[in-house]
Amino acid sequence: MKKQRPPMYGLLAEFSTVEELVAAVRRAHAEGYRNMDTYSPFPLEGIDDELGLRRTSVPLIVLIGGVLGCLTGYFMQYYLAAIYYPINVGGRPLNSWPSFIPITFELTVLFGGLFAVFGMLALNGLPMPYHPVFNVPRFVRATRDRFFLAIEATDPKFDREGTRRFLEQLAPYEVAEIAH
């Protein structure tokens, strides 16, 4: 059976300083809320545990990309220079590995870098043209000078009235409902 979709995405509280938002996140976490997210005009520090952010998988993806690039770089050169199109230059070895290092290195960096970029975008679900938070008119300031906390309706403790009352205790500038 398909789970019923909650009537709205969640509630959004707006704060004017980083400190207020950080305090609010800690309070909400202590209150038992888990499905929440912050929206801020620059990265925040010190609330990773509260938001349930453990280590990200980006470094692992980059490592995989780098190793893949390294192997691709070396074996491409080995195959092309020693097997597919061997040229005997004065009897020197066909697998002349020192000459293959620069391109191996470049491809390691290339693959690692592209994996970092596309891995980060994929994990973040970007590009995503539509998201419910954009429905809140004041949300345009999340990319400028305001700090937002969204408690999502999927949270087991979420209750339209109770959660709103809780958020209003935190002295936000405004609490808004996020329509789907």
Partner 1 sequence: MQTDPHETTSETGPAGSTWDGAPPVIAPGQTYDSVTEQISEIVQTPHTPWGWVAVFGVSFLIVMMFLAAVSYLLAVGVGIWGINIPVAWGFAIVNFVWWIGIGHAGTLISAILFLLHQEWRTSINRFAEAMTIFAVACAGMFPLLHLGRPWFFYWLFPYPNTMGVQPQFRSPLVWDVFAVSTYFTISLVFWYIGMIPDLATLRDRASGRVGRVVYGVMAMGWRGSGKHWRRYQDAYLLLAALATPLVVSVHTVVSFDFAVAILPGWHTTIFPPYFVAGAIFSGFAMVMTLAIPLRAAYGLQGLVTMRHLENMGKILLATGLVVTYGYIMETFMSWYSGDPFEIYMTLNRALGAHAPEFWGLVFCNVLTPQILWWKWARTNVPTLFVVALIVNVGMWVERYVIIITSLHRDFLPSSWGMYAGTVWDWATFVGTLGFFLALFLLFIRLLPMIPMFELRELLHKLAEKDRSQHEETAAADVRASSRV
Residues that bind partner 1 (CB under 8 A): 16-18, 37-44, 47-48, 51, 53, 56, 58-59, 62, 66, 76-77, 80-81, 84-85, 87, 89, 96, 99-100, 102-103, 105-107, 109-110, 112-114, 116-117, 119-121, 123-124, 126-131, 133-134, 139-146, 171-174
**Contact, 135 vs 143, CB < 8 A?**
no
CA distance 151 to 105: 45
In the bound state with partner 1, the residue whose beta carbon lies nearer, of 17 and 154, is 17
In the bound state with partner 1, the residue whose beta carbon lies nearer, of 12 and 158, is 12
Question: In this structure, is the dihedral angle defined by the CA atoms of residues 102, 121, 25 and 3, taken in order, positive or negative?
Answer: negative
Tell me the three state secondary structure of residue 73.
helix
In the beta sheet, which residues pair with residue 150? Answer: 12, 37
Supply the minimum distance, in Å, between the C-beta of residue 4 and partner 1.
25
- What the block records as the tokens of 30 is 């202590």
In the bound state with partner 1, the residue whose beta carbon lies nearer, of 1 and 42, is 42
